[in-house]
Structure 1
Amino acid sequence: MIKFIRLIFALFICFGASGFDCLLYGQVLENYDPHIAVSQNAKFFERADRLDVTIDLVKFPQADLRISMPADAALFFGGELWGVSPRDTVLYINMKDLVAHFSHGNNQLELSIFKKRIRKNEVSISKGIFAEAGRENATTEMEDQSRREKDMMKEFFFLAILLILFLVALLRTVYPSVFAVLLRSRSVFSAEDFWESAGLTKVYSSELLFFMILVNMAVSLLLMVFFSILEIPVFGIYIAAELNYLFLVWLSASVLLTILAFLKFVWIKINTFIFSLWKFELPHFFFLLRVKGLGMAAVIFLLIALYANDMMRDQTYLIYVLLGFLIFYLIGILVLLTWMTKKIEFKIYHLFSYLCTAELIPFLAICKWVLG
């Protein structure tokens, strides 16, 4: 009887170990959840709250990486955008694909997940053998499709550059003297050319309006590349990679920025009236417009170099280009302050208050919107 009971008990154990394996979805080899680090949105240039964890590429190279993410979260590997989850998502990524894609001789890979107000308990990261890892093929196909769609953005970028260069050549042909004054590198940080009394009608002259539109076209192109490559929504809408749509958005944004430029001139004129800086709005406006034009020429050259060398996949370079332009514009504001102290008989704190109200506060608000 005792032997019979032992036999039944042994059969029960075998049945439990083998008969119910249909309920087992996989074997976790490494659990990264305790190692996830939270980075809050405390810095000015942080785009969102972030979760970071370091993945070991050497251990278990045949396993799969399972990542559970909440909706509207962006997944980065080594600073490269891997995907954005439109809803709560579970991704299965084979370790061999990660090693092949990030074959830089590193044994570790940094994984980051961005989302505003993300919590640690919303994310789960583990490595193992999972029965549902067959979804990896669909994930890879979606990634390849998104990369192919970005080639349309590359085609649009170079077509837009050709159009801008054509307009620059037209400006140089029609207004050679204005072109030389506006983009002469030796005088870009000098406002002597614009220090003269003039009315509002000078802003509406054809040559300066032409130049203003060119600068705004370059700025809108930079913003489109930035939002499209990083897949950041603008007012909740992602920029689609379709050629006609991209041209429509680009030209519409250029017109909108030109309108905002006129509103900025009105804003500067209001501040010159408040701070009793009579007839200073034109030198102020055209000085920074010329600085912006030179800065955008350098940015366009860098973007062409990045696209030509297939370096846009590392979004870090694009972020550095945008930060470089914003820092260059900030330096232009500081140079304007120095130039004002020599031209206008006011205390330095009075001029600094004027620039803070007219330039720095709107500038920081725009930086926060673009980079935050």
Structure 2
Amino acid sequence: MARIRVFFLFTVFFSLGFSLSAQVLEDYSKTWEVAERESWFASSDRISQELNLATFPMANLYLEVPEQTVVFAGEKLWFYSNSDTVLIRRVTDVAQELAQEKVTLTLYKEGIGSQDIILKKMIGTELDQTTPEESKNLISIREKKRSVLRDFFGLGLLIVLFFIAFYKQAYPFLFSGMLRPSGLLSDEDFSDVGSLQKFFSLDVLLFVFMVNLLLALVGTLGFVIYKGDLVFQLIEQDVMSLMIFWLVTTVGLLILTVFKFIGIRIVAYLFDLRKLEFPHFFYLLRLIVWACFIMIGVIFVYLMNSFFMLENVLELSLQVFFWLYLIGITGLFLIMMNRLSFKKYHLFTYLCIAELVPFLILAKWIMVLGQ
């Protein structure tokens, strides 16, 4: 009878043991130290952190690194990943190989970030069977995301270029006038304040829609890069869903742009600056167009060639856009100061209410959303 009980308990324990899935004991994936950029235009190329090999010696070390990454353990070159690589080793084996109980792992790759690396200590009887397959799935998901983003951005860029070509043929005068870069350095928009008095005409609204297509294209890509989990909870991870998301974002930005113009008109009326809301609005709109052209060009190059640097490139592009817009507001202030017989502090107050404060609030919201 005793033997039967022992056999029964052993069978239950054995069954439970094999039903356990791998468990995470320590997760180091979010504690990497990212090296500071050597210059303002450079991207990070090194992350590191200390790994304690004395704890959980019987667990497995799980390390997933992207392609073309150099991994150092202390001062020793540990390995180089020619392609996306998953390393699963017993902690005691790693400690014996490196002859250290605590080691600093340092990973080198152009544009690398903590989001690219997974490092955990895991235990479970099914770890060796399930983890490689799960890792392949993770790599497959990442490759799919990269492919979807490239297809979406390329298709979106083609649509924008087609729209620009159509608009240039339909409204050549307005197109050339709005995209003339010399207007950013001169007061030509203020010379003839009657040339753009119909904001709600079809030609002007189509131009504003085109600008919002550019902004929404960059914004959609940024949402997917920084908040991909949230975005793909709302839509499917495919090109068509991203296209719909892009168009909805464009319409939303168009509505916000219309409200912004109405707000500028109200503030201009209160400050007795009627008929100057048009050159004010379109001066900054021209700045946004050229900034978007430059951003999209840079993003396209890195998206197609160095995908893992894309997050850093987006961050830097948004910073450049932020400062360019502030410089644009400053330029607008100087132009209006020279053109108008208006007290400087009244003009400064007008621009703060109409432009500076709303822009800083919007920038703060975007910064919080991206964290």
CA distance in 1, matches of 2:137, 2:336: 58
Q: Which amino acid aligns with 1:308?
A: M
Aligned to 1:158: 154
Aligned to 2:355: 359
* Distance change (3 Å), C-alpha of 1:274 and 1:237: farther
- After superposition, the CA RMSD in angstroms is 4.4
Q: Percent identity?
A: 29
CA distance in 2, matches of 1:32, 1:174: 58
Aligned to 2:254: 258
* Distance change (3 Å), C-alpha of 1:76 and 1:318: farther
Aligned to 1:226: 222
Aligned to 2:49: 54
CA distance in 2, matches of 1:209, 1:171: 11
Q: Which amino acid aligns with 2:182?
A: R
Aligned to 1:284: 280
Aligned to 1:339: 335
Moved more, 261-270 or 133-142: 133-142
CA distance in 2, matches of 1:312, 1:53: 17
Shift in Å at residue 143 of structure 1?
A: 3.4
Aligned to 2:142: 146
CA distance in 2, matches of 1:247, 1:322: 22
List runs of 5+ in structure 1 lacking aligned partners. Answer: 1-21, 40-51, 68-74, 81-94, 114-124
TM-score normalized by the length of structure 1:
0.66
Q: Does residue 1:108 correspond to 2:109, yes or no? A: no
Aligned to 2:169: 173
Shift in Å at residue 191 of structure 1?
A: 4.1
Shift in Å at residue 264 of structure 1?
A: 0.4
Shift in Å at residue 259 of structure 1?
A: 1.5
| Structure 2 residue corresponding to 1:297, chosen from 293, 309, 319 | 293
Q: Does residue 1:208 correspond to 2:183, yes or no? A: no
CA distance in 2, matches of 1:227, 1:66: 29
Shift in Å at residue 223 of structure 1?
A: 0.4
Aligned to 1:89: none
List runs of 5+ in structure 2 lacking aligned partners. Answer: 1-16, 35-46, 70-77, 86-103
What is the DSSP-based 3-state SS (H/G/I as helix, E as strand, rest coil) of the residue aligned with 1:230? helix
User: 1:37-70, CA deviations, whole angstroms, 9 ceiling, x for partnerless residues?
Assistant: 999xxxxxxxxxxxx97156999xxx85469xxx
User: 1:247-305, CA deviations, whole angstroms, 9 ceiling, x for partnerless residues?
Assistant: 21111211121111111011101111223323221111111111111111111211221
Q: Does residue 1:182 correspond to 2:190, yes or no? A: no
* Distance change (3 Å), C-alpha of 1:201 and 1:152: same
CA distance in 2, matches of 1:55, 1:140: 26
Say if 1:56 and 1:107, in contact at 8 Å, map to a contact too: yes
What is the DSSP-based 3-state SS (H/G/I as helix, E as strand, rest coil) of the residue aligned with 2:198? helix
CA distance in 2, matches of 1:143, 1:327: 37
Aligned to 1:246: 242
Shift in Å at residue 225 of structure 1?
A: 0.5
* Distance change (3 Å), C-alpha of 1:346 and 1:237: farther
Say if 2:333 and 2:347, in contact at 8 Å, map to a contact too: yes
TM-score normalized by the length of structure 2:
0.66
* Distance change (3 Å), C-alpha of 1:312 and 1:195: farther
CA distance in 2, matches of 1:161, 1:36: 37
Q: Which amino acid aligns with 2:171?
A: Y
User: 1:297-336, CA deviations, whole angstroms, 9 ceiling, x for partnerless residues?
Assistant: 1112112211232335541112112222222222111111
Q: How many residues align?
A: 300
CA distance in 2, matches of 1:247, 1:130: 42
CA distance in 2, matches of 1:196, 1:99: 61
